[in-house]
Chains A and B, each alone.
Chain A
Amino acid sequence: MNSIAAAPHVFWAILFIVLPLFIVVYYAFVDSSGNFSFENITALKDYAPIFGLSVELSVIATAVCLIIGYPLAYIMARAKPKNQKLFVMLLMLPMWTNLLIRTYSIMAILDDGGFLNTLLNTSFHIVGTKGAVIFGMVYDFLPYMVLPIYTCISKIDKHMWEAAQDLGCNTVTTLTKVILPLSMSGIISGVTMVLVPSISTFYISQKLGGGTFELIGDTIERQFVTGALNVGAAISLVMMILILISLTVMNRFGNGDEGGIIV
């Protein structure tokens, strides 16, 4: 009975998840004429600088998200229940707009002749800098950092705060010795959910990078658009493996329970 009910899901998963994975692996290990080769993999070293830049920008964006997101999530979780709903609502609101449209809007605001410069009558050059790309990443992915941490903190038994105070903790030590360790699983989920899409994004860097530099997501996209399926597949495969490794490491770090939601 169970297996019959699961059949459509299994079918779906095989067709759209497992099969494409095999196709990616297949393309990564053949050359353009279809013969087995390691050429694509060895060609990857040319992309090392791009990969490095992707890691750099996404790590910075993730760190910024964590620094902004944790206090925000903490304040939300400690607010009155009525206000909590409002906070969550406000946080979710931008997510109802398509990511691409939001990115375009940021571009329109930050552009050289854009809204911001017109308003202030200045000529800041923002679009096309690393800062703009990081800003875009933070803006687009911040909710993914805040929500898991918020959920995690609000689930902490209120007696934990009281017990910490009772045993000699002031506000700061309560946070560092008790609340922070107890919200580690939320932090790990948040970091994962921001880092993974940041590292593989291509439209944010294309739009806000103003075409001046390329991230690994752009490279993959370019390979596929120009028909170089094999190299694109190889880069994708390596990305996937690296992400899996980092997820495993993070899951270890967070005791494995409920941490590391795999996106």
Chain B
Amino acid sequence: MAKLIELKGISKSFDGEKVLNSINLYIRDGEFVTLLGPSGCGKTTMLRIIGGFEVADEGQLCFDGVEISDVPAYKRQVNTVFQKYALFPHLNVYENIAFPLRIKKVAEEQIKTKVTEMLKMVALSGFENKSVSTLSGGQQQRVAIARALISHPKVLLLDEPLGALDLKLRKDMQNELKTIQQAIGITFVYVTHDQEEALSMSDTVVVISDGEIQQIGTPTDIYNEPTNAFVADFIGESNIIDGVMLEDRRVRMAGHTFDCVDGGFDKNELVDVVVRPEDIDVVSPEKGMLTGIVTAVTFKGVHYEIIVDIKGFKWMIQSTDYVAPEENIGIYIEPDAIHVMKKSKYSGMFGDYSTFSDEIEQLSDVDSAEEF
């Protein structure tokens, strides 16, 4: 697959504050790429630069090998689905979708055929004459997608398009978007702060924090082989423990030496060690590699979420077996469940569940809608 969009050393500041710091990224033709990061990380700004709504302070933006940094938005072969859809309230559903073709002065016959085809694709046949203000959020979303796709752009940019929808509808739309993308085979660049959305829809995930790319990879890579503490924490749950790499495939943490599958570090290099909560087995204290006291147990439906205090560090374990609070338990970790990472500026900031609460997680998820 050829490189379709390429960002070379893109930087952008707003009011002296650096939002993007020397971003290098390429997006291949036909790929579903997700820009994933917390509120204010610069992901929306990146999308707006690709769309032509912001101009980068430094760096080059190339499209199909040609620099397009100075090409205005209306001349780019890129269309956007805006966060709040931005449908035209003075036009009905049909005219909204037909809008790009009318601007291009396409013949009426052709417009009719295409709009009908688009409406069918987004399952809105029969809604032609409805006013857009009478549609539900999900329906408005579909109109926005149809309107953005009708002039066959090479790339569709989606700015948190599902943010305003409720959970059930969001899941349905995720599947639908993926289906549409596969059906028409064009590149989707999708911005979200929802890691689950990113993992389930994307071919490639780009994790962004503080205006810098932290990791680029497939969803499996990002989850199983995070490059630093930020990625490990942001994608799913993880225990991140300070460790020492004794030699290849042997790491020491929490006072115990573990076998692992990683190598290539200096002897006795300080590292961050990631262990996913679902990869930890609860065993009797005698059989455990480590032992600790259970401080909290929460029933989550599929599993129990157990917080264990091991030498002052709170680990999270997900287990289908119940253990009682205050119980002394042992834990067992398979070598391939241990992932070793180099130290980064995010070391020590994440991965300890001593102040863990569900509410805090929820809060940090909600307010990321407004960032420009």
Q: A-side interface residues toward B, CB under 8 Å?
A: 157, 159-160, 162-163, 165-170, 173, 177-178, 181-182, 184
Q: Which of A167, A173, A177, A184 contacts B147 (CB 8 A)?
A: A167
In the complex, the answer to whether B88 meets A178 with C-beta atoms within 8 Å is: yes
Listed by A's residue number, 12 A-B pairs whose Cβ atoms lie within 8 Å are: A157-B84, A157-B86, A162-B86, A166-B52, A166-B74, A166-B78, A167-B79, A167-B100, A167-B147, A169-B103, A177-B102, A177-B103
In the complex, the answer to whether B86 meets A168 with C-beta atoms within 8 Å is: no
| CB of B82 closer than 8 Å to a CB of A | yes
| CB of B99 closer than 8 Å to a CB of A | yes
In the complex, the answer to whether B74 meets A163 with C-beta atoms within 8 Å is: no
A159-B84, A167-B151, A184-B90 are known; give 16 further A-B pairs, CB within 8 A: A159-B82, A162-B51, A162-B82, A162-B86, A163-B80, A165-B53, A165-B72, A165-B74, A166-B53, A166-B74, A168-B100, A168-B103, A177-B103, A178-B88, A182-B88, A182-B89
A166 to B151, CA, bound (A): 11
Chain A residues closer than 8 Å to B82, beta-carbon distance: 159, 162-163
Query: What is the distance, in angstroms, from A10's C-beta to the closest C-beta of chain B?
Result: 35
| CB of B104 closer than 8 Å to a CB of A | yes
Chain A residues closer than 8 Å to B86, beta-carbon distance: 157, 159-160, 162-163
Kindly name the residue among A157, A168, A182 whose own CB sees the greatest number of chain B CB atoms within 10 A.
A168
Kindly name the residue among A157, A159, A178, A184 whose own CB sees the greatest number of chain B CB atoms within 10 A.
A159
In the complex, the answer to whether A168 meets B84 with C-beta atoms within 8 Å is: no
Chain A residues closer than 8 Å to B164, beta-carbon distance: none
A159 to B48, CA, bound (A): 12
A232 to B295, CA, bound (A): 91
Within 8 A of A (CB), among B81-119: 82-84, 86-90, 99-100, 102-104
Q: Top 5 nearest A-B pairs by Cβ distance?
A: A159-B86, A163-B86, A165-B73, A167-B100, A181-B90
Chain A residues closer than 8 Å to B52, beta-carbon distance: 165-166
A184 to B73, CA, bound (A): 26
Chain B residues closer than 8 Å to A177, beta-carbon distance: 99, 102-103
A177 to B72, CA, bound (A): 18
Kindly name the residue among B84, B103, B151 whose own CB sees the greatest number of chain A CB atoms within 10 A.
B103
Query: What is the distance, in angstroms, from A254's C-beta to the closest C-beta of chain B?
Result: 11
Q: Which of A157, A173, A181, A184 contacts B103 (CB 8 A)?
A: A173
Query: What is the distance, in angstroms, from B78's C-beta to the closest C-beta of chain A?
Result: 8
Kindly name the residue among B52, B73, B87 whose own CB sees the greatest number of chain A CB atoms within 10 A.
B73
Query: What is the distance, in angstroms, from B107's C-beta to the closest C-beta of chain A?
Result: 16
Chain A residues closer than 8 Å to B100, beta-carbon distance: 167-168
Chain B residues closer than 8 Å to A182, beta-carbon distance: 88-90
Closest chain A residue to B153 by CB distance? Answer: A166
A168-B74, A170-B74, A181-B90 given as contacts; is B53 within 8 A of A162 (CB)? yes
In the complex, the answer to whether A166 meets B80 with C-beta atoms within 8 Å is: yes
Kindly name the residue among A165, A167, A177 whose own CB sees the greatest number of chain B CB atoms within 10 A.
A167
Q: Which of B80, B102, B103 contacts A162 (CB 8 A)?
A: B80
Chain A residues closer than 8 Å to B72, beta-carbon distance: 165, 170
A177 to B98, CA, bound (A): 12
A20 to B317, CA, bound (A): 82
Query: What is the distance, in angstroms, from B129's C-beta to the closest C-beta of chain A?
Result: 15
A12 to B242, CA, bound (A): 79
A157 to B89, CA, bound (A): 10
A51 to B324, CA, bound (A): 93
Chain B residues closer than 8 Å to A162, beta-carbon distance: 51, 53, 73, 80, 82, 86
Closest chain B residue to A168 by CB distance? Answer: B103
